[in-house]
Amino acid sequence: MIGGDETTNNQYGLELILDLHGCDVSKFNRESITAYFEQLCDLIDMQREDLHFWDDVGVAEENKQTSPHTQGTSAVQFILTSSIVIHALDQMRAVYINIFSCKVYDPMVAENFSVEWFGAKRSSARTLDRI
């Protein structure tokens, strides 16, 4: 984590990339993911803006996704300083999350919260300095 409320002159922001496996699929729905975004943003002190979902809600049965790589719920939670993107894939019991912000946050806090929220049995995390 970078000190203070803003990044340094040679860094634009930080991106946390999380891969969570062996997750609790009962959390892979709009209600739970909305609550996840609300609590995560409070925890890492991010101001939430628009939230958009991409899933099979309201889609005719014959048009619903069936592939393990596409069946599930995806969402983008815009935050004042960038975005948080999530892909929760039912058949794979996996969640893929990207948290990108030019405002400083602690990636370990975000990672630990996400692992606990989705009940992940295994996880992988990487951080990227965006310049």
pLDDT single digits (tens) 32-52 = 999 999 999 999 999 999 999
* 27-36 long-range Cβ contacts below 8 angstroms, 24+ apart: 27/88, 27/117, 27/118, 27/119, 28/72, 28/73, 28/88, 28/89, 28/90, 28/95, 29/73, 30/55, 30/57, 30/73, 30/75, 33/73, 33/75, 33/86, 33/88, 36/86, 36/114, 36/117, 36/118
Least confident of 9-18, 26-35, 46-55: 9-18
CATH no., domain 13-56+69-130: 3.60.90.10
